[in-house]
Amino acid sequence: MNYLSNKKGFLGIDNKFNFKEKVVVVPFGLEKTVTYGGGTKNGPKEIIKASHQVELYDEELNCEPYKKIGIKTLKPFKIDKNIKVALKKISDTNEKILNKKLFPITLGGEHSITPGCIAPFVKKYKELCILHFDAHADLRQSYNGEKFSHASAIRRCLDYKNVSIISFGIRNISQSEMLYLKKNSSRIKIYWAKDKLNWNLNKFKKIIKKKTVYLTFDVDGLDSSIMPATGTPEPGGLFWEETLNIIKIAAKNSNIVGADINELAPIKGFNSYNFLVAKLAYKILSYKFLYK
C-alpha cells in the first residue's frame, strides 16, 4: 500500500517517528449524488490538513494515543466517475487493509461510500452491526433515479442479510422510509433526535454488547449550529459531548472493526468545522484502541 509520509498524513506526525501501523486512513472524496449543497469531494484533504492542528495529547486518556495506535494514511487515488466502479474500488481497498489485520477508517466524500466500505466486513463477519450517526435515515430504495444515492446508503447496507443498524440523531425521514422501517424493525433501531432527552443509553449498551460493529458517521448528524459545513444541515442534532459518550459506550462494549466519516463540505475560511471532524476521527480511533 502506498502511504503518505507521516508529515503529510493524518495528524501530521514527525517523519522521524517510527511505528508499526494498526490503522489506515483512506481519503476517498467520492461525490456523485449530492442533491443540495456540494463540496464533499474536498472533505478528505481538508480533514487531513486540519488534523495537523489537533493536539496529539488527549487529557481524557492521559496519553498521546497515536503512539499506542500507529496511524498511516493512504495516498489519495483516482475515483472512477461510475459510482459502481468507485464503490468496488473502496471495497477492494478495505479488503486489502483487513487482510493485513489493520483497521480502516475512510474519510469521505458523500455517504454513498458506506455500502462499498462495508462489503469486505460483511464477507468476513457472520453478523455486522452498523452504528450510524446521521440526520437522515438514508433508507430510500433510490433517490432521483439513483439506487446508490447518498439518500439510500443505509438501505444498500441492509441489502446484506447479515447487517443490522443502530442509528443516532435521525430527524429527517420520508413516508416511504417509515414504511420500510416498520417492516424491518427487527434489524433497525433508531434513537430519534426528538427523543434525545429520554434516550436510554443503558439499553443501547445491552443491545451493542459483544457485537461486531462498523461505525459510519455522517457529519450532518451533528447539530447544524456546530456543523453547518455539510450538504444537508439539520437543526436539532447531536452535540460534541453526547456524541463522544455514545462512541465510548460502543468502544467499551463492542468490537469496532472499521469506520467512515462522510459528508463534510468544507466552507472556505471556516476551518473550525474541518478541525471538528479531524478531532472526531482521532477520538474514534483513540476510544477504539485505548478506551476499554
pLDDT at 144 (0 to 100): 66
pLDDT at 251 (0 to 100): 98
Domain architecture of the chain: domains with CATH:
23-290 (3.40.800.10)
Give per-residue pLDDT as tens, 56-70.
Answer: 999 999 999 999 999
pLDDT at 147 (0 to 100): 75
267's grid cell: 466552507
pLDDT at 31 (0 to 100): 72
pLDDT at 204 (0 to 100): 98
Instruction: For the chain, list residues with pLDDT below 70.
Output: 32-38, 142-146, 292
Give per-residue pLDDT as tens, 118-143.
Answer: 999 999 999 999 999 999 999 998 66
pLDDT at 109 (0 to 100): 86
